[in-house]
Amino acid sequence: MNEYIIVEFEDTREVIIDDALSGYKTGDVIEIGGCTHTICLEGKKNYLPLEQDINPSGTSPILPFKVYFSKD
């Protein structure tokens, strides 16, 4: 089952999913499998939290789960 998320951060960065560059950017709707994923951002580690484990369910492309990162 696919789930949908958006990663919110004040800069545009590529989103790293499970330690791999996903091609998706912050602010994009991202399609992922409905299971546990570890999310972080490409580039300088000047944000918090440094990574987040998420397990979204019941999302849709227009109602994605939001993952927030803020500048450190």
Partner 1 sequence: MKIKQGNSVLVLLMLLSGCAHYLENDPKTIFEAGYGYQYLPKAETIEQDKIYVALALSGGGTRAAALSYGVMEKLKATPIQNGNKNLMEEVDLISSVSGGSFTAAYYGLFGDNLFSDFKDKFLYRDIQSELTQKLYNPVNWLRLMSPNFNRIDLAIELYDETVFNKKTYQDLDNNGKRPFIALNATNLTTGSQFTFTQTTFDILGSDLSTLPVARAVASSSAFPILLSPVSYKNHLASKGFNLSRDIENGLKDQYDGPDPRRYLWAYNQSIYHTNKAERPYVHLMDGGLADNIGVRYISDNFNLSSGFLFQRKTAIKELIIIIVNAKTQPAESLDKEESPPKLIDVAYKTATVSMDNYSFESIQMISDILKISERAAKEILDCQAVIDKQCSSGYKLPVMGHDFKVSVVEINFLNVKDSVKQQRLLSLPTSFSLSKEEVDELISVGKELLDQSKAFKEVITRIK
Interface with partner 1 (CB under 8 A) = 1-2, 4, 6, 17-25, 27-38, 53, 55, 57, 60-62, 64
For 34, residues 6+ apart whose C-beta sits below 8 A from its C-beta are 1, 2, 3, 55, 56, 57
Largest CA distance in the chain: 34
List residues bridging with 60 in a β-sheet. Answer: 63
Q: Cβ 58 to partner 1, closest distance in Å?
A: 11
Instruction: For partner 1, give the closer residue by CB, 9 or 27.
Output: 27
Q: Cβ 44 to partner 1, closest distance in Å?
A: 19
